[in-house]
């Protein structure tokens, strides 16, 4: 996509499939979806934010490390969803499997503040159900299923990293953020963060908050 002169390019969301031209622009034109394997010939100059989905090919991303780190060094904001197992960026935390047997083992706790998560009650993203209609948290404890937001944690965080959300009794890090040059790497060790935008809860508008922040907003 060619961006008109003087206009900021949209956030680039790299996905694991070819994207037809009529499906490239999403979220009212704020996001451009691009086949991940076109990253090597995608101009990142001027793009404020990049999103990597849970299924991204991390071996391929490792081959693009210099390009990504150069863009981050200039001030970009990168959201990584999923389980980092390949060190495709400097300082990237690594995924570890969490052994759990009940809700207490995957309980989510707010830790360091970050603009994307400000005001979010972690209970509103803890449990999900296929039963239609609104449900109180007490009802969800009876009929809901946990682990969609996260059921793992990360190790090897940079010394200056923010630990945003913790999981389980040990409050192990599942959402983290750290600086890389003038830019920021945000890692969510679970399903795509935007998908947890839930009407009628404190998670309502989460997708918009993510995009606004990746666009350079301070919220």
Per-residue pLDDT of the chain (219 residues; tens, 9 = 90+): 555 555 789 999 999 999 999 999 999 999 999 999 999 999 999 999 999 999 999 999 999 999 999 999 999 999 999 999 999 999 999 999 998 888 889 999 999 999 999 999 999 999 777 777 777 888 777 767 778 899 999 999 999 999 999 999 999 999 999 999 999 999 999 999 999 999 989 999 999 999 999 999 875
- Spatial CB neighbours of 203, under 8 Å, sequence gap ≥ 6: 120, 121, 124, 125, 196, 197
In contact, 67 and 39? CB cutoff 8 Å: yes
Q: Where do the domains of the chain lie, and which CATH numbers do they carry? A: 11-214 (3.40.50)
Which residue do the tokens 């059921």 mark?
151
Residue 23, φ and ψ in degrees, nearest 5:
-115, 5
End-to-end CA distance of the chain: 28
Full-model pTM: 0.92
């Amino acid at each position: 996509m060619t961006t008109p002169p003087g206009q900021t390019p949209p956030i680039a969301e790299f996905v694991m499939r070819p994207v037809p031209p009529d499906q490239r622009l999403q979220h009212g034109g704020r996001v451009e979806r691009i086949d991940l394997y076109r990253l090597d010939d995608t101009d990142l100059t001027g793009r404020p934010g990049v999103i990597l989905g849970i299924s991204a090919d991390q071996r391929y991303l490792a081959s693009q490390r210099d390009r990504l780190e150069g863009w981050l060094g200039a001030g970009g904001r990168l959201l990584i969803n999923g389980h980092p197992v390949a060190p495709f960026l400097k300082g990237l935390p690594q995924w570890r499997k969490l052994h759990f047997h009940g809700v207490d083992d995957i309980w989510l706790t707010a830790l360091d503040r970050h603009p994307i998560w400000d005001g979010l009650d972690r209970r509103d993203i803890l449990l999900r159900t296929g039963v239609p209609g609104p449900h109180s948290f007490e009802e969800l404890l009876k009929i809901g299923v946990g682990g969609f937001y996260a059921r793992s944690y990360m190790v090897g965080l940079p010394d200056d990293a923010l630990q945003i959300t913790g999981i389980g009794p040990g409050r192990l890090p599942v959402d983290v953020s750290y600086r890389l040059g003038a830019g920021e790497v945000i890692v969510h060790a679970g399903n795509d963060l935007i998908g947890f935008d839930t009407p009628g809860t404190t998670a309502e508008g989460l997708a918009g908050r993510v995009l606004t922040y990746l666009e350079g907003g301070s919220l």
